[in-house]
Structure 1
């Protein structure tokens, strides 16, 4: 692997970094932010700023209006965007839209792309992905899927509940995972204003960075025409991996930027805050935390870049996004937690963005699969004789 970035990526990195610093960070205390993410008018302003800068939805295909970034290029841009909680929203690379764009680019029909994907890439609308269910339905174990799809003439009737659905409030359309009568799973597309979709409530969550927050949905005989099936009937679980495996990696990229921001703020404070006769950072306890932060950030970047590089080589079978996700989620949490500690009382107030990053990044150890579930998956591979030697 060659970690030297070519001139075009260095230029893109600097362009993104400058955009975030000059156009996004000044809006972080904008009153249009809510406990459930940026309001729609703020989102639209951010989108327009990114559009003018030539940075809107850069990961999408050129056919859809994006820049078709390589995985390494995404690692660079997404980290820079993640430096502000509003950065991924501005560039239209936030969850769940980023993953939905990738999935639909691969799976959707041309008619579906024109109807839903193109306006999504252009930032005119938002989407959501309805897979997780309240207990006893599916969470980390997708085999527990309880939402059903039954054939009714040329249509399908969807019934069930979905929970912790990011971006549901204000989304224009939804991708629904439902169980078929034969036990397989299928994905369906639906406008959110169709009769049969009920947004039951908005969940109050620890994080506040996702536009639309997290909602609970109910489907009551939601009628979906066969033309709105996403991909093949019965291939839902396979498509979930098409979406979730890269989405885990892009989460790591964005949160790496957020943790780097927290570390930068803690470093500045350690240099300028005096305690017991010298700068805070010169005390060994604080200096060691700064050093541990630097090492954790370095390890995460290596893990992310390695997976991105392997994907760019077309070696998808050699990528284990579970490993990168656990390394990133656990290490970046340690980084931000140390930053709060170094900032002391200031770290638990909104005088800096670190307190917000702390709240936003904690759920990353749960989203897209808890660390324990990924460890369980890794353990099975280690014990498998066919892979245990690697």
Structure 2
């Protein structure tokens, strides 16, 4: 291994020994092998070494060479509760080696991404620890790569973006816990615009999917003759409205309040961010539906400048100040973005703080 004291398998310094003192790789044989043989030797030894360090890695090494799975699997959350901060150096090196093995073709499919999330859980690694290694190896976090892959998968057979697939992405963003800033950077790379701008554009291209506004009513095959509020929102009569600008369906009341046909009554509940996510899951299970926390971009579409509160109070009465989004802060996952409808401010708040929740869903 001329010119380097770093083992090609475990990335540890080995001095000038004939073998790596950490993983026992034969450096003498490696030095005299040609490039093709060197690569085969490294992969074979790495697989053997990893399997000796973790029972789960044997199956992972095999899984990484089978046919790719479907790109987006919404069956189960990819991200667990944050693990303990304690970790040994060996766990970091195992994660690095698995990532390098998956990245050998300069691409991660969703099967490989799921395996990396699983590996991080089993090794008890934190988000900060894995992302530091991710950026060293592939130049971005695995979460960003997952979102990049998911965005690419929204193209149809003609290379055009599918509105139906784009509408699934906000839930996917929440599932993989990607920050708002990092998500938007990937969106600009793939879409050339933000996701919300892309959704609005696609909706405008498919006018038949937008309710026709006529004589102060919303008229459409599935949403027939519903009143239109302030030339924008279709009143669906069940405590929800359909925003004709974004095609998003919103609850008129915050969680804890109920719609009595004219107003939001009762006391809105303040949640910390983790409690808010639990409340959303409980709501989904009880009602068998796809209501979710809005992304920051979605929540910000409700801001009405010059009004106080800075929201359409006829549509969303008794709206209080801070509301959670699903968007994590890119620089610190302990903070989450939200909107203060008292004055229209957009800011990040500590996730253990308390804010209100307004649910949204895509209208497919």
- TM category (shorter chain) comes to under 0.3
Structure of higher CA gyration radius? 2
The TM-score normalised by the length of structure 1 is 0.25
**Which structure has the higher relative contact order (CA within 8 Å, separation 6+)?**
1
- Where is the helix percentage greater, Structure 1 or Structure 2? 1
The TM-score normalised by the length of structure 2 is 0.26
